[in-house]
Amino acid sequence: MADHSQHHIVPKSTYYLIFTALMLGTGLTWWIATIDLGAMNNVIMLSIAVTKATLVILFFMHVKYSPKLTGTVIIGAVFWLLIMLVMTMNDYFTRDWLHFG
């Protein structure tokens, strides 16, 4: 029992690689922010943020190596968050479409 580890040990090289990707992502976000791409600025910056968050969750937080149950909890939490954000914004973005009588 003493010679097998309870959990997968992620090699340090993976951590360094993810760290580099996160730093590059931060630099990229800053650079994108200075260029005028109209509405795309938001889309790109948030896409980079989502990618960075995913890398942190999968590798730093070991979810890639964890039981499926952990992934289910995260997907559930994000789904609940999206219910709140998307359905509320659905209302706010479409209010001025309505012109009754």
Residue 2 within binding range of other proteins, rule CB under 8 A: yes
Residue 15 contacts by C-beta under 8 Å, 6 or more apart in sequence?
Answer: 59, 60
Using CB under 8 A as the criterion, what x/- string covers residues 30-49 for binding other proteins?
A: x--xxxxx---xx--xx-xx
Instruction: Please state, in angstroms and as integers, the Cα–Cα distance from residue 37 to each residue in 25, 34, 48, 66, following that order.
Output: 18, 9, 15, 39
> Which residue, 34 or 100, has its beta carbon nearer to other proteins?
34
Q: Tokens at residue 99, please?
A: 């012109």
Residue 84 within binding range of other proteins, rule CB under 8 A: yes
- What is the Cα–Cα distance from 36 to 6, expressed in whole angstroms? 50
> Please, are residues 55 and 22 in contact by the beta-carbon 8 Å criterion?
yes
- Find the shortest distance in angstroms from Cβ 100 to other proteins: 22
Interface residues with other proteins (CB under 8 A) are: 1-2, 5-7, 9-10, 12, 15-16, 19, 22-23, 26, 29-30, 33-37, 41-42, 45-46, 48-49, 52-53, 56-57, 59-62, 66-67, 69-70, 73-74, 76-78, 80-81, 84-85, 88-89, 92-93
